[in-house]
């Protein structure tokens, strides 16, 4: 055992744990529940290198023990975080019910990252659940989070997945697994909701100061750093949801506990990428009213930010009415800022420089046509960058041809070369996304048959989503 510990100690872990210095009501100290017979399924070697970690001299069996939490790296301090959240609009007290943060690793660029084991056993916040996770969902998060990263969208990352050697019961018996998630932090809107509901103004202030120190130290010199935090988080979330809309991503469960203050995509549950363009598309089986549908994501982002603002009121101004007025003034800017960002993004998808007033109509007319004709969201924008786009039967439609001529006329107003417009389109329109059926094929092969090849192949294709390569053709069909 000492030899294994020695191997692990040489991999480059550098823990500098700060969250454990917050008020103890914000977390519980406990270690992961040991796994029966952990086995390494996948290790993200590229991310390992970025983190300054070198696992090349550690045997897979020993890595499995580490990523299962049976053997913890030196310097780790394990906690489960407490938080609250509005889940589908209803407030509840939550917490890490099946996750343990083992510490904050300092990478070679001195940037700090939370290292969290997801599926690592029961915690004080498990609410009678088993605290474990199944292999399929953990591999899904690995695939989708790494795809989102390759698309250039802020996200938590996935470092490793191990099986536990135990079965867990859901609708049937499933192989248990643990995902190692890497995040700038796990501070959520729900973290602030938890601190606020406790009614301890000093703890809330400590959390605000901690968040600013960790993520946005430039705000410390403002007259009102708390208001600066609200503004900055709003900007980050607008940037994030605009990216989601760009690639047709639907998060599926935009509860306030799934909104990270860092502006990263977090928690990949019933998420997916849209095939046929339909703004009402949902991917959560319990989202019967479309609360988290594709088109509703900006509105829910604003709603979540309102909940965030509510927690900050005592620190925005000492008079409640004035604090509400200031917070509302900030959040009321959301629509204007989002629309500006969305329009700029959509113009890029069409290769348009320096937006003009007619662009919004041009964009919306295309989206309307796509919905009416059940066109594939990703492939439509890919096709627009091709010289022979009009040869496709789908585009031999009078409404599209009329739109196409208007678009061509608009392109001539760019005062840029056609190649520059094409380059702009290619930089924001992915050629390949993780199609849901391809993800499911890979997960079924891994979970049911123990065949990891489809998953490895899919991950390889998703590494370079903007590059036109022969091997992506099989992954482009809806």
In whole angstroms, give the CA distance from residue 81 to residue 187. Answer: 9
Q: What is the DSSP letter of 80?
A: E
**Cα distances (Å, whole numbers) of residue 98 to 127, 128, 182, 259:** 10, 11, 16, 18
Q: What is the DSSP letter of 312?
A: H
What the block records as the tokens of 433 is 């996304």
DSSP β-bridge partners for residue 260: 188
Q: How many residues does the chain have?
A: 478
In whole angstroms, give the CA distance from residue 355 to residue 363. Answer: 11
Q: Which helix (H) or strand (E) holds 168?
A: strand 157-169
Contact between residue 453 and residue 463 where contact means Cβ atoms under 8 Å apart: no
Q: What is the DSSP letter of 413?
A: G
What the block records as the tokens of 176 is 């248990």
Place of tokens 């585009």: 395
Count of other CB atoms within 10 angstroms of residue 216: 18
Helices (H), 22-98: 45-50, 60-67
Contact between residue 12 and residue 53 where contact means Cβ atoms under 8 Å apart: yes
Q: Is the dihedral of CA 16, 81, 163, 445 positive or negative?
A: negative
Tell how many helices (H) and how many strands (E) occur in the chain. Answer: 16, 12
Q: Output Rg (C-alpha) for the chain, integer angstroms.
A: 23
3-state secondary structure of 385: coil
Q: Which is catalytic among the residues 96, 114, 257, 376?
A: 257
**Cα distances (Å, whole numbers) of residue 38 to 41, 159, 166, 172, 446:** 9, 16, 9, 21, 16
114 annotated active-site: no
Contact between residue 411 and residue 125 where contact means Cβ atoms under 8 Å apart: no
In whole angstroms, give the CA distance from residue 308 to residue 304. Answer: 6
The catalytic residue positions are: 257
């Amino acid at each position: 055992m000492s030899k294994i510990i020695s191997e692990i100690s040489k991999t480059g872990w550098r823990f500098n744990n700060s969250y454990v210095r917050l008020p103890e009501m914000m977390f519980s100290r406990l270690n992961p529940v040991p796994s029966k017979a952990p086995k390494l399924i996948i290790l993200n070697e590229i991310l390992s290198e970025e983190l300054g970690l070198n696992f090349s001299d550690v045997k897979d069996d020993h890595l499995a023990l580490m990523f299962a939490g049976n053997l913890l790296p030196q310097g780790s301090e394990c906690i489960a975080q407490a938080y609250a959240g509005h889940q589908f609009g209803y407030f509840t007290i939550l917490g890490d019910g099946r996750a343990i943060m083992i510490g904050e690793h300092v990478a070679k660029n001195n940037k700090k990252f939370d290292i969290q084991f997801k599926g690592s056993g029961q915690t004080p916040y498990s609410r009678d659940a088993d605290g474990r996770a199944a292999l399929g969902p953990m591999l899904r998060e690995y695939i989708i989070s790494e795809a989102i990263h390759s698309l250039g969208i802020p996200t938590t990352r996935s470092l490793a997945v191990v099986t536990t050697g135990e079965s867990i019961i859901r609708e049937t018996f499933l192989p248990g697994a643990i995902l190692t998630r890497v995040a700038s932090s796990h501070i959520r809107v729900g973290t602030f909701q938890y601190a606020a509901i406790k009614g301890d103004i000093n703890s809330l202030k400590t959390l605000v100061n901690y968040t600013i120190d960790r993520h946005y130290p430039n705000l410390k010199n403002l007259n009102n750093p708390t208001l600066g935090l609200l503004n900055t988080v709003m900007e980050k979330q607008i940037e994030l949801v605009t990216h989601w809309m760009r690639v047709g991503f639907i998060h599926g469960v935009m509860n306030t506990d799934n909104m990270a203050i860092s502006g990263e995509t977090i928690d990949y549950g019933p998420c997916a990428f849209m095939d046929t363009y339909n703004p009402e598309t949902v991917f959560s089986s319990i989202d019967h009213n479309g609360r988290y549908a594709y088109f509703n994501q900006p509105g829910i982002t604003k709603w979540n930010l309102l909940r965030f603002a509510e927690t900050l009121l005592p620190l925005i101004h000492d008079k409640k009415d004035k604090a509400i007025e200031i917070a509302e003034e900030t959040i009321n800017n959301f629509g204007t800022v989002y629309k500006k960002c969305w329009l700029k993004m959509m113009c890029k998808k069409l290769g348009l420089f320096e937006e003009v007033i007619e662009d919004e109509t041009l964009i919306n007319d295309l989206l309307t046509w796509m919905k009416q004709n059940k066109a594939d969201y990703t492939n439509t924008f890919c096709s627009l960058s091709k010289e022979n786009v009009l040869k496709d039967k789908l585009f031999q439609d009078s409404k599209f041809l009329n739109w196409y001529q208007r678009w061509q006329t608009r392109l001539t107003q760019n005062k840029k070369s056609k190649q520059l417009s094409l380059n702009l389109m290619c930089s924001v329109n992915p050629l390949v996304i993780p199609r849901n059926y391809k993800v499911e094929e890979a997960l079924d092969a891994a979970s049911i048959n123990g065949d990891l090849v489809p998953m490895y192949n899919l991950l390889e294709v998703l590494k370079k989503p903007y590059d036109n390569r022969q091997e992506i053709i099989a992954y482009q069909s809806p």
